[in-house]
Amino acid sequence: MKRSFSSYDLLWLSIALFPLLMLAMLFPVQPHDYWWYLRLGRDILEQSAVPLTDTYSSIQAGQPVVYLAWLSSVILWLVYQSGGISLTVLLVAIFIGLTYTLLWKLLREYGLGPRLASLLTLLAGLSGSNNWGVRPQLLMFPLFLATLWLLLKWHKCEKKFPWALILIGWAWANLHGSFTLFFVLTGTAFLFGSGDKKSLFIILLASFLLTFINPNTFGLWRSTLETFVSPITNDLVTEWAPPVNSGWQMNIYFLWLLALIPLAIFSQKRPSFFEIALFLVFTWLGLRSQRFVIWDLFMLSMFTASLMPTTLVQKIDQTVEVKTASLNIGLGVALLVMPLMLLPGIREKISTQNYPAVEPHTPIAATDWLSEHPELPGVMWNDVIYGSYLVHALPSRPVWLDTRIQMSFTLDQMKEYLFVQSAQPGWDVFLAEHDVNLLFLAKTQTSLVPAVQNSTDWCKQYEDEISLIYSRCSTLP
């Protein structure tokens, strides 16, 4: 059903987006992945090529590496170079706003009124907010929803630019490794949808062939598939582990799944096989790995809308005669603009409350100190999460390990890192055998830090609230 966008719609959409944009502005940049993507983007522009070998880690130097998110890295670097963290946070807010606007629009297509669509959009946003980290995946959310919207139009035999899927698939393949979800969506549509199968097959084939137009060519698919089956991914990376009902975001997610059971039983509406297949596929993915929960929340919203009883929709969204359109528009615009006051660089001028733009456990001060002491000898062993910031801020010192875990390091290297971090017997011998002369530690490494402090081989060079830097008292040759 075609629906015009009214001032009343704008007001309710803004009500849903307002808290989501506030959260997007206030969440600090996490130290895990963002920083090394900046280094990669800068290197690509400086070298006019995507690096094919590792230059960031001392233990993987010269080894082949596949950077799937090369284009996203360039975008993130250009944004950071242009406006620092403030512009980066604004980019996050823009993509969050765009994502949940598309979701709201999708729910309206299912016949929900503006109030109910806003409620589901808000729930999906709040529950998925722990997946809003500043990294390439964030840029894919609008592409996912655009793909879903186009496929639903195809399923209903409405010709709404289906060939745009080819462009989306190619862009996605150059932006992030989650491009495989594009083929999960389109493949599910081909198997269970009701649209023109011939045209969709051509779109699928063309999209698949175009994925090879990227700097990694055939390595794109090989690297992506290796990530899914890698023992590092499945055994050591926590975000690939099944989700647990811990924290308010996950509480919403699991309660929503449970609430769908009675809704599906008692609803007189029956979703199509295509919609059921999408829900089952993405819920299976979401329950298999917390990394997929954000995508499943989009499907939960869609599936809930497809089941929503007409009587409930009519009760919540009764027809309203709009007599003050200008007031609705004014309030809606105000709700969308007000979160800008929380941008880093602006919020400090209007509030004494400290909202850090960068996660406080990012080792900025310690890295600055180390950059001023090039005389301290390497090889450096470092906390793995610190590695991401070090790759960006101190390129002159290769890290031992960083958060490119699935794409660059071996299972043995990860086990060796955990062996040292837990200060198991022989940790100091291992470091000596690998010529490590410098330790860049986080105080959260509660086993290793006391072991180093009690060792006569290591002398403390630097300490702050979160970090410690040690060098060997007698440098190894």
58-92 pLDDT tens trace: 999 999 999 999 999 999 999 999 999 999 999 99
Tell me the one-letter amino acid at 437: N
pLDDT value for 477: 66
Q: Across all residues in the chain, what is the average pLDDT?
A: 93
pLDDT confidence tier of residue 236, bands split at 50, 70 and 90: confident
Joined tokens for residue 19: 């808290």
For residue 472, give the H/E element and its range: strand 467-472
Decide if pLDDT at 1 tops 60. no
- Angle separating helix axes 7-26 and 114-128, nearest 10 degrees: 10
Decide if pLDDT at 234 tops 80. no
pLDDT value for 383: 97
Decide if pLDDT at 188 tops 60. yes
Q: Determine whether 351 is exposed, middle or buried from the number of CB atoms within 10 Å of its CB (0-12, 13-18, 19+).
A: exposed
Decide if pLDDT at 138 tops 80. yes
Decide if pLDDT at 171 tops 90. yes
pLDDT value for 367: 98
Could you count the other beta carbons within 10 Å of the beta carbon of residue 167?
12
Strands in 467-472's sheet, in edge-to-edge order, are 380-382, 438-442, 467-472, 458-463
| Residue pLDDT, tens place only, 349-382 | 888 788 899 999 999 999 999 999 999 988 999 9
Decide if pLDDT at 237 tops 90. no
Of 191, 188, 169, which Cα lies nearest the Cα of 180?
169
- Average the pLDDT over 411-418 and give the result: 94
The angle formed by the CA atoms of residues 143, 146 and 150, to the nearest 5 degrees, is 140
Joined tokens for residue 310: 């007409």
Could you count the other beta carbons within 10 Å of the beta carbon of residue 266?
9
| Residue pLDDT, tens place only, 291-321 | 999 999 999 999 999 999 888 888 887 766 6
pLDDT value for 2: 53
**Which segment of 206-215, 228-237, 286-295 scores lowest on mean pLDDT?**
228-237
Decide if pLDDT at 340 tops 90. yes
